[in-house]
Amino acid sequence: MINLEMTEKMIQVKNGINGMAKGMLRPISRYYDENEHMYPKELDMFRSLKIMSRPKKKKEGEEKKSDKPAGKKLGSNLAMVIMIEEMCWGDLGLLLSMPNAGLGNAAILAVATDEQFERFGGKWASMAITEPGAGSDSGSITATARLEGDEWVLNGEKIFVTCAERCDMAVVWATVDKKAGKAGIKSFIVERDRPGFKLEKLEHKLGIRSNDTGTYVLDDCRIPKENILGSPEVKQTSEGFKGVMKTFDNTRPLVASMALGVSRAALDFTKEKIEERGIKLDYEKNPNNVSSLEKEFYLMEANHEAMRLLTWRAAWMMDNGEFNNLEASMAKAKSGRYGTLIAQKCCDLLGPLGLSCENLAEKWMRDVKITDIFEGTGQIQHLIVARNVLGFSSKQLK
């Protein structure tokens, strides 16, 4: 069973990250929101950290010290969602700009060979999936990759790439065989300085403005044959489309924790302003005998707690090697949707304070919306949940 009590170590980590978010991220939050696309130099201090790492393999003849299965230490995913919530309480856009922690890095961690991980594991990798005609349905991408001698030649366009300008390389999804459908879709590591690989433009966005989002164009871009992630065989899907898609079962709880952090920031600020007006929130009162403002606030807190429990459960299952496709999508769907609604309602309750740029409430409302969109929209998450609950395949329920 999942233990809902944090360990002493987790509490220390949570408090430490919160102190960093309060002392470093919050003070620069508005500056980088107003100076869109400018790289936050303050984040360079994290470049030397090994945010994503693989456990070391035991040498031949070395005795096992534990009966626990090999892999991440128990609790690493749960610890990560707690840390991300605290950082996003500080600023979501800045969290997304952390060096060497792109979504592409998660894909490399999941399916790269040992040799590939040795070469690319310490670099900053974006993830290039979405195309002008292929958004939520990743299986319909049209970018192509053909093998010519010892090189892959890539062609296509990728849009809405997070950290498109700041990254060192991109994990680009392309098809090696259109007739094979999803089985023909593979992911390739493309360094930014490769001829034929161009950053076409950066987007001007509603929220997370401190993070760069851009468009890539690949025009006969050549990369080494060994830069394909996992197996090049079309019939081998465990390390191709399906393999990288499983990355999302790990990262969707992280996105849910982003929504947790931003909406909690909005709740904390709203509660502070409510109490400044002399309204004391009393949780002992009958919920049917309180003001409409209090009732709205209690309902937001209840949904926020449900978001956290779903997120923690999905992360805990990943830590324990349990298949969490359903739970990861439930956490993402609930948190993305209600995180957005909470931030909006807080701005409603705050009145003029909710729209003023003198505080961060309106920014939180703009920032949190992305958590309901990227890494699978809320609608797609509901579709995944329905397939799991009803036992339907993707072909049966579209």
Catalytic, 375? Answer yes
Higher pLDDT, 280 or 346: 346
Q: Are residues 178 and 281 in the same domain?
A: no
Share of residues in the chain with pLDDT > 90 (%): 72
**pLDDT score for 109:** 86
Q: Do the beta carbons of residue 254 and residue 81 sit within 8 Å?
A: yes
Residues 153 and 225 placed together within one structural domain of the fold: yes
Q: What is the dihedral of CA 314, 315, 317, 321, to 10 degrees?
A: 130
Q: Over 80: is that where the pLDDT of 49 sits?
A: no
CB atoms within 10 A of CB 220: 12
- Assess whether 226 and 291 both reside in one domain: no
- pLDDT tens track for 190-216: 999 999 999 999 999 999 999 999 999
CATH number reported for the structural domain that contains residue 206 in this entry: 2.40.110.10
Read off the pLDDT of each residue in 78-105 and give the average, rounded to a whole number.
95
Distance CA 143, CA 172 (A): 9
Write out pLDDT tens, residues 220-274. Answer: 999 999 999 976 665 554 455 666 666 788 899 999 999 999 999 999 999 999 9
- What pLDDT, on a 0 to 100 scale, did the predictor assign at position 110? 83
Task: Judge whether 303 lies within some domain.
Answer: yes
| Residues 260 and 206 grouped into a single domain | no
Whether the predicted pLDDT of 59 surpasses 90: no
**Co-location of 145 and 260 in the same domain:** no
Whether residue 277 lies inside any domain: the answer is yes
Query: Per the domain annotation, does 216 fall within a domain?
Result: yes
Q: Which member of 131, 239, 362, 375 is catalytic? A: 375
Shared-domain flag, residues 122 and 210: yes
How would residue 60 be classed by pLDDT, with cut points 50, 70 and 90?
low
Asked whether the beta carbons of 94 and 35 are under 8 A apart, the reply is no
Structure tokens at 188: 């390739």
Amino acid 306: pLDDT: 97
Residue 320: other Cβ atoms inside 10 A: 14
Whether residues 210 and 315 fall in one domain: no
Domain-located, residue 169: yes
Q: Does the pLDDT value for residue 385 go beyond 70?
A: yes
* Residue at a domain's end among 178, 208, 243: 243
314 shares a domain with 185: no
Q: What is the mean pLDDT of the chain?
A: 90
Identify whether residues 204 and 293 lie together within a single domain: no
Range 165-172 average pLDDT: 97
Give the CATH number, domain containing residue 359.
1.20.140.10
CB 216 within 8 A of CB 163: no
Average pLDDT over residues 356-382: 96
Q: Are residues 197 and 267 in the same domain?
A: no
pLDDT surpassing 70 at residue 52: no
Residue 8 lies in a domain: no
The answer to the question of residue 39 being in a domain is: no
> Is 76 within the bounds of a domain?
no
Q: Is 336 exposed, middle or buried (0-12, 13-18, 19+ CB in 10 A)?
A: buried
Domain boundary among 243, 272, 304: 243
User: What are the b/e assignments for 251-277, b being 16+ CB within 10 Å?
Assistant: bbbbbbbbbbbbbbbbbebbbebbeee
129 and 207 fall within a common domain: yes
| Residue 175 dihedral angles phi and psi, to the nearest 5° | -100, 135
**Does the pLDDT of residue 67 top 50, yes or no?**
no
pLDDT category, 313, cuts 50, 70, 90? very high
Q: Across the strands, what pairs with 185?
A: 175
**Distance between CA atoms of residues 365 and 159, nearest Å:** 24
Structural domain ending residue among the three candidates 243, 270, 290: 243
Distance CA 171, CA 130 (A): 12
Provide the number of structural domains found in the chain. 2
Q: What pTM value is reported for the model? A: 0.91
What is the predicted pLDDT for the residue at 70? 46
- pLDDT of 35 reads 97
Q: Are residues 340 and 364 located together in one domain of the fold?
A: yes
Q: Which range marks the domain in which residue 368 is found?
A: 244-390
pLDDT in tens, 138-148: 778 999 999 99
Which one-letter DSSP state was computed for residue 332? H
Place of tokens 């090696």: 176
DSSP string, 94-145: HHHT-TT--HHHHHHHHH--HHHHHHHTTS-EEEE--BTTBSS-GGG---EE
Distance between CA atoms of 38 and 226, rounded to whole angstroms?
A: 34
| Residue range 352-360: mean pLDDT, rounded | 96
The string of pLDDT tens digits covering residues 368-379 is 999 999 989 999
**Kind and range of the H or E run holding 213:** strand 213-224
Instruction: With respect to residue 207, please indicate whether it lies within any of the assigned structural domains.
Output: yes
> Residue 47's pLDDT is what?
85
Q: What is the pLDDT of residues 279-289, one digit of tens each?
A: 989 989 888 88
Residue predicted with more confidence, 316 or 67: 316
169 with 180: CB under 8 angstroms?
A: no
Alpha-carbon span 264 to 10, nearest angstrom: 18
State phi, psi for 197 to the nearest 5 degrees. Answer: -110, 115
